[in-house]
Amino acid sequence: MHKLSAKVFLIVIFSFYLLPHSSIAQSKIKKLEELLSQDRLEEIQELLPEIEQQYPDHPTVLYLKGVFEEDATAAFQYFQRVVEKYQDSVYADDSLYRIAQYFYAQGKFNLAQKYFSLLTRRYSYSPLKDDAQYLLCQCMIAKGQVDSARIFLNAFIKNSPRSPFVDLAVMDLESFNSMINDEPTAGNKTGNAVFKYAIQVGAFRSRGNADQFAEKFKTKGHAVDIVAKKIGRKKLYAVWVGRFQTKAMAMNYAEKLLKKSVNDYKVIDRSKF
């Protein structure tokens, strides 16, 4: 009886010291999450290094490290750790969505489709579900799976009539008719897919300046082309991001993945250059 009482005493003492530390940890993490919900990003950046030293493997810390990481590959690794180790984290669905975006931006549509599909199945309650379903269709289109994409887009429009992506889905379906009659142009065909559109994010007189500007998009994982254009007697080097089959795909890509990185952009028809 005496030995049992001693064990109970030790457990009580251990809990007495453990709980305050656990409470402090939760308080600091909750502070980060509160700041993120209010978009107070500068304050998060100030607090994050100190909290990371204490709780380097916490899912909220890993997620925020990915958000603030400028290198796309490094950010991907943070999000991957959240998805693999903390599937119940409040940021697991967003991490999965960002992984899918990472592959989508690189033109790795099989992998992007896999992760967009996983998000819709694993986190059916997620506010990102509509985004993922629509971009899953975009992956099909990019791979030349027009018939499958048509079926999925029609189902998406029927089942998610209030989604902000419905108008884009309708545009995609309308664009299929014009795609049937499009002839492939040099440099715009990969496999069975014809990439007619791109997003122009800048134009420079100096090739060096164009290369430097393009590098920041390459670092974030985007497919980038630099194209020489003549306007009158002037020669410009245009920086194009992405390769798309439809104008709707290009517009959606710019809205979801480029808007925060560049102030001015326009969708261009690659076949006219």
Segment-wise mean pLDDT, segments of 10 residues, the chain, 273 residues: 49 44 70 89 91 92 92 92 95 95 88 94 92 89 84 89 84 68 44 72 88 84 84 84 80 77 83 72
Q: What is the CATH class of 57-176?
A: mainly alpha
**pLDDT at res. 79:** 96
**pLDDT at res. 194:** 64
CB atoms within 10 A of CB 145: 18
189-272 domain in CATH 3.30.70.1070? yes
Domain spans of the chain? 57-176, 189-272
CA 103 – CA 112 distance, rounded (Å)? 5
**pLDDT at res. 12:** 44
**pLDDT at res. 94:** 95
**pLDDT at res. 97:** 94
CA dist 226 → 158, 161, 242, 263 (Å): 40, 39, 11, 19
CB 235 within 8 A of CB 271: no
> Which of 189, 222, 18, 207 has the alpha carbon at shortest distance from 102?
222
**pLDDT at res. 234:** 81
**pLDDT at res. 17:** 44
Evaluated on CA atoms 29, 32, 35, 39, the torsion sign reads: negative
pTM: 0.68
Tokens of 198: 């791109």
CA 23 – CA 26 distance, rounded (Å)? 5
